[in-house]
Amino acid sequence: MAASDPAAGRPARERSEADDPRRTIDAVWRIESARLIAGLARMVHDVGFAEELAQDALVAALEQWPESGVPDNPGAWLMAIAKRRAIDAFRRRERLARKVDELGRDLASRGETEALPDPGDDIDDDLLRLMFVSCHPVLSMQARVALTLRLLGGLTTEEIARAFLVPESTVAQRIVRAKRTLAARRVPFEVPAGADRAARLSSVLEVIYLVFNEGYSATAGDDWVRPALCEDALRLGRVLAGLAPKEPEVHGLVALMELQASRLRARTGPDGEPILLLDQDRGRWDRLLIRRGLAALERVERLGGGRGRYAVQAAIAACHARARTADETDWVRIAALYHALAEVAPSPVVELNRAVAMSMAFGPAAGLELVDALAGEPALAGYHLLPSVRGDLLVKLGRRAEARGEFERAAALTRNGRERALLLDRAAACERGRAGDR
């Protein structure tokens, strides 16, 4: 054990008690960091500088709270420290004298650090601005995801890297470059208006749903699901719904994530092996999340946004949630909803899902016809679910030799170890079935 470890050589019970302040500070940071950075960014107009100030405040908390105890209003304490760091930085740089005076007067008017109230009535607006800045189109999608999880999700660089199975240095570089890009492009810390707001909101929703999907069905690695990522995305979605209560697509995305997250416990077996939708124990579905999802979907309808891309997907998920058994699923309605989704958000992946729904509603031959029509789509050339779906339909049609080849091809394309094992098992089952037929 390193000599610098203050807990070295002490009994486990004492070490546990000594570590309590750190765990408390970590919990406070997860809760307060997004609000803190958002409020600071509004003041200094620089997301990177705002995060530095927030980190300085965190260091101060780590130094002082273990001795003094956690203050009654930790968020206000951190904000006060960060503002003082900002004043010091502005003075050192011998610039922005007006901002120094402005911040100094604001801090003095609030009194002593411990007595400071909440950061102010603008906090919701600050968080919304921070979401729009973190997901700005000048950044790559990878950078948007990393920056959003760092600033709004409160995740460390190490946690983001572990979640997406990339080197920590890669995530760190993405975050640094993202902040530099925002500063170089002078991206304003504001909520856009009009058509620009709609376009930017779409980017925010896309980032949140990408995070959720990576947790719901991991693209690579040894785990089929990563519930922590789903929880982070759900938390961001719920925050956004509170900040933009009249945006139907925000509620549509929340409804979709709530309904899909309700199945997480049933998606894997005792050893982490995948369990497909129709084979899941629906008694393990989370009824609370289902109720929340259906309530969010009702809000979408009241706002007149039932035809939005996330709302339609949520309506599809609701069909599954309402079915007490797999046999009770309304596949005809699901097929119709996928047709509607193809109109508002056309893509080969949507068409592939529609083919599955058509096969369930009208037979495997109907689905196979649609799947075969997608064979030449460049976007699906390396998409493992295309041969996987085709293999499933071929099994239902009794064409097991062809199905085995499709499952093996799908297994070669996927980067997820659990999914690869499932597909290879299905290929082997096709061979056993052929032997039984003979």
Highest average pLDDT, of 16-20, 135-139, 140-144, 312-316, comes from 312-316
Give the whole-number percent of the chain exceeding pLDDT 70.
86
Question: Which pLDDT belongs to residue 330?
Answer: 97
Separation of CA 193 from chain center: 25
Question: Which pLDDT belongs to residue 1?
Answer: 36
Q: Which of 142, 207, 132 is CA-nearest to residue 170?
A: 142
Kindly indicate the confidence band of residue 91, based on its pLDDT and cuts at 50, 70 and 90: low
Strand residues in 96-222 grouped as ranges (E): 220-221
Question: Which pLDDT belongs to residue 182?
Answer: 92
- 376: exposed, middle or buried (Cβ count in 10 Å: 0-12, 13-18, 19+): exposed
CA distances for 296 relative to 146, 246, 288, 289, angstroms? 27, 12, 12, 10
Question: Which pLDDT belongs to residue 102?
Answer: 58
Question: Which pLDDT belongs to residue 114?
Answer: 40
Question: Which pLDDT belongs to residue 180?
Answer: 93
Q: How many helices (H) and strands (E) does the chain have?
A: 19, 2
How many other CB atoms sit within 10 Å of the CB of residue 272?
13
Q: Is the confidence at residue 100, as pLDDT, over 60?
A: no
Output 403 or 85, whichever has higher pLDDT.
403
pLDDT in tens, 5-16: 434 444 443 434
Mean of pLDDT over the chain: 85
HSE-CB of 324 using CA atoms within 13 angstroms = 0
pLDDT in tens, 338-366: 999 999 999 999 999 999 999 999 999 99
Q: Is the confidence at residue 375, as pLDDT, over 50?
A: yes
- 98: exposed, middle or buried (Cβ count in 10 Å: 0-12, 13-18, 19+): exposed
Give helix 141-151 / helix 168-184 axis angle, nearest 10°: 100
Measured distance CA(267)–CA(404) in Å, rounded: 24
Q: Which residues, in sequence order, are CB contacts of 386 under 8 Å at separation 6+?
A: 352, 371, 374, 375, 380, 410
Question: Which sign does the torsion angle of CA 309, 315, 321, 324 carry?
Answer: negative
Q: Is the confidence at residue 60, as pLDDT, over 70?
A: yes
Question: Which pLDDT belongs to residue 93?
Answer: 59
Output 127 or 4, whichever has higher pLDDT.
127
**Type of residue numbered 24:** T
Highest average pLDDT, of 65-69, 109-113, 316-320, comes from 316-320
Question: Which pLDDT belongs to residue 14?
Answer: 40
Greatest extent of the chain over all pairs of C-alpha atoms, in Å: 88
Highest average pLDDT, of 27-31, 63-67, 152-156, 269-273, comes from 269-273
pLDDT in tens, 149-177: 888 877 788 888 877 878 999 999 999 99
Kindly indicate the confidence band of residue 52, based on its pLDDT and cuts at 50, 70 and 90: confident
Q: Is the confidence at residue 96, as pLDDT, over 70?
A: no
Kindly indicate the confidence band of residue 105, based on its pLDDT and cuts at 50, 70 and 90: low
For residue 380, what are its two tokens?
A: 């699906």
Q: Out of 34-38, 108-112, 244-248, which region has the weakest mean confidence (pLDDT)?
A: 108-112
Question: Which pLDDT belongs to residue 20?
Answer: 67
Question: Which pLDDT belongs to residue 5?
Answer: 41
Long-range contacts of 355-358 (CB under 8 A, 24+ apart): 355/389, 356/389, 357/331
pLDDT in tens, 264-319: 999 999 988 999 999 999 999 999 999 999 999 999 999 999 999 999 999 999 99
CA distances for 367 relative to 235, 341, 345, 391, angstroms? 36, 17, 20, 12
Kindly indicate the confidence band of residue 4, based on its pLDDT and cuts at 50, 70 and 90: very low
